[in-house]
Amino acid sequence: MASGEATGLRLVAVDVRARALGLCPGEPLARARARLSTPLAVHPFDPEADAAALERLCLWAKRYGPGVAAFGAAEGRDGLFLDIAGSSHLFGGEAGLVADLARRLAANGLPARIAVAGSPGCAFALARHGAGGLVAPGGEAEALSGLPTIALRIEAAMAADLGRLGLRRIGDLAEAPRAPLARRFGETLIRRLDQALGHRPEPLVALDEALVFSAARGFLDPIGHQAAIVATTKRLLAEIAPRLEAAGLGARGLRLTLHRIDGVVRTLALGLSEPTRCPVQVGRLLDLRLDRLGPALDAGFGFETVRLDIVRTAPIAHRQVTLAGDDGTGAGASGLADALRQRLGRGLLRLTPHQSHVPERAETAEPWRVNDVVARRPVRGRPRPLVLLTRGETAEDMLAPDGPPQLFRWRRRLHRITHADGPERIAGEWWSGPAPTRDYYVVEDEAGRRLWVYRQDPPPAESPPPERAARVAPVIGWFVHGMFA
């Protein structure tokens, strides 16, 4: 299975036979093909279909017990947890259940590695990075000690950092002093380690429990001040934030519902360029939004209930805490884009080049987005104006006896040309209708103003079909198309 990236197709998953050939995920497809003479059966990677199939499998697995949870973002979304406490005796004990599960999966053509342990973290580590099998109660530490640290469901970068310190196995990690580890790698590592060893409980989110992130607060005395609304929202988000963090998510869209004391409900929607869990940042954006609304919000006698829902979430990558103390209010362009959208109701724009040689089609202004992949600009040797008019404006009283223009009138001003570079011929897009050819000149007038003018010629007589040419008659003449600095 392969997926397209900026650098070409890469393998995402391989089956048993491919692994036997020495292929592994992450390898560029082209290199794999060049290395092996065997023809490869490659399928495009479809994450949505994978998620749907995993959900079907989870529903099926409910036959072994009600507590089924699919692997989340931390686990790689390619397996499931099954809570068999209290249900294994129905299948003849844990070994009998595992055997039955393995047999049924194999019958459906699903190769699987199954592990049973006292904690979800330990079972995951054994199934993904070990040999699977059953762990007796209390034997987690021994079973895990030989496994690599990545089996603790930490990020690859963190595992690499640990490896650099010589902590390659979970056994090394369990023996290492905890306080320096926590200080250096954050609380996540210690939590994952404790969860795997069974020292700390890890509640599984069962399949039927949808992830809902919302919080509400009621007031005996209704609130009406902007500062109070903002402070309440910050507090509500601070309540939700730990739950978001546990799920590895951040909020990208929020909805604030304000219940007025006389039954009227006001709703505010906030969008963010990048997922966040920071109450300060959201509070600031809400402040700007309320600034813009002003009296339009109409608090009346005040709001008695404030409710905050996270309507859109996105995974958030863990980031090392900076020593300087990140204020978390959104650095750079994303923070600015959010603030402008809340305060003025419009977003940022970015100039985006397009694959066209016709100047007016070679670029548009598109809404700015985080991590936008910007198309590469063609390296042009020819000069292009600083300001391009959306369409050529007629140059009147043109005097151009032998090619370049010498005198013309444009925008009620007479331009006496002292210098002209050109012509640069730009042919029209003949594949989309009759396309006249243009000859561009860079001209400079007496005052030193530089303009981009062109002469439009009719298209060659034989190229367009005669009936179309008759319908859309291209204009012939001189036009000003841009201004240079």
User: Is there binding between residue 363 and another protein (CB under 8 A)?
Assistant: yes
Binding another protein by CB under 8 A: which of 283, 404, 434, 464? 404
User: Is there binding between residue 369 and another protein (CB under 8 A)?
Assistant: no
User: Is there binding between residue 340 and another protein (CB under 8 A)?
Assistant: yes
E strands in 110-168: 115-116, 133-134
User: Is there binding between residue 406 and another protein (CB under 8 A)?
Assistant: yes
Extract the tokens encoding 267: 């709703």
H runs (alpha helix) in 165-313: 170-175, 178-185, 187-197, 226-246, 279-293
Nearer to another protein, 28 or 423 (CB): 423
For the bound state, the minimum distance from the C-beta of residue 365 to another protein, rounded and expressed in Å, comes to 6
Nearer to another protein, 314 or 349 (CB): 349
For the bound state, the minimum distance from the C-beta of residue 343 to another protein, rounded and expressed in Å, comes to 6
Binding another protein by CB under 8 A: which of 1, 54, 389, 435? 389
For the bound state, the minimum distance from the C-beta of residue 165 to another protein, rounded and expressed in Å, comes to 27
User: Is there binding between residue 278 and another protein (CB under 8 A)?
Assistant: no
The region of 124-132, 177-185, 236-244, 415-423 touching another protein under the rule CB under 8 A is 415-423
Nearer to another protein, 45 or 484 (CB): 484
CB 346 within 8 A of CB 338: no
- Interface of this chain with another protein, residues 465 to 484, rule: CB under 8 A: 482-484
User: Is there binding between residue 294 and another protein (CB under 8 A)?
Assistant: no
For the bound state, the minimum distance from the C-beta of residue 326 to another protein, rounded and expressed in Å, comes to 7
User: Is there binding between residue 358 and another protein (CB under 8 A)?
Assistant: no
CB 256 within 8 A of CB 267: yes
| 81: nearest Cα among 189, 162, 202, 255 | 202
Binding another protein by CB under 8 A: which of 174, 333, 358, 407? 333
387-394 and 477-483: which strand pairing? antiparallel
- Which distant-in-sequence residues (6+ apart) come within 8 Å of 3 by Cβ? 9, 10, 12, 44, 45
- Measure the CA–CA gap between 107 and 94, rounded to whole angstroms: 20
Binding another protein by CB under 8 A: which of 203, 294, 448, 466? 448
Binding another protein by CB under 8 A: which of 15, 46, 55, 326? 326
User: Is there binding between residue 230 and another protein (CB under 8 A)?
Assistant: no
- Measure the CA–CA gap between 303 and 239, rounded to whole angstroms: 20
In one-letter notation, the amino acid at residue 368 is W
User: Is there binding between residue 194 and another protein (CB under 8 A)?
Assistant: no
E strands in 343-449: 349-353, 363-367, 387-394, 396-399, 407-410, 413-426, 437-445
Nearer to another protein, 22 or 403 (CB): 403
User: Is there binding between residue 414 and another protein (CB under 8 A)?
Assistant: no
Nearer to another protein, 177 or 448 (CB): 448
The angle that helices 226-246 and 279-293 make with each other, rounded to 10 degrees, is 140
Distances (CA, A) of 202 to 81, 197, 347: 12, 11, 41
- Measure the CA–CA gap between 152 and 171, rounded to whole angstroms: 11
Binding another protein by CB under 8 A: which of 189, 442, 453, 480? 442
| 254: nearest Cα among 215, 291, 217 | 215
For the bound state, the minimum distance from the C-beta of residue 325 to another protein, rounded and expressed in Å, comes to 8
- Measure the CA–CA gap between 432 and 272, rounded to whole angstroms: 39
- Measure the CA–CA gap between 444 and 137, rounded to whole angstroms: 87
User: Is there binding between residue 424 and another protein (CB under 8 A)?
Assistant: no
Binding another protein by CB under 8 A: which of 21, 264, 365, 399? 365
Binding another protein by CB under 8 A: which of 38, 267, 418, 463? 418
CB 229 within 8 A of CB 286: yes
Nearer to another protein, 72 or 404 (CB): 404
Whether the CA torsion 449, 450, 452, 454 is positive or negative: it is positive
Write out 443-467 in H/E/C secondary structure: EEECCCCEEEEEEEECCCCCCCCHH
For the bound state, the minimum distance from the C-beta of residue 389 to another protein, rounded and expressed in Å, comes to 7
Binding another protein by CB under 8 A: which of 87, 145, 226, 329? 329
Binding another protein by CB under 8 A: which of 56, 178, 419, 468? 419
b/e burial code for range 224-241 (CB count within 10 A of at least 16 → b): bebebbbebbbebbbbbb
Enumerate binding residues for another protein (CB under 8 A): 288, 326-327, 329-333, 335-337, 339-340, 343-344, 346, 348-351, 353, 359, 362-363, 365, 368, 374, 377, 380, 383-389, 404, 406, 413, 417-421, 442, 444, 447-450, 482-485
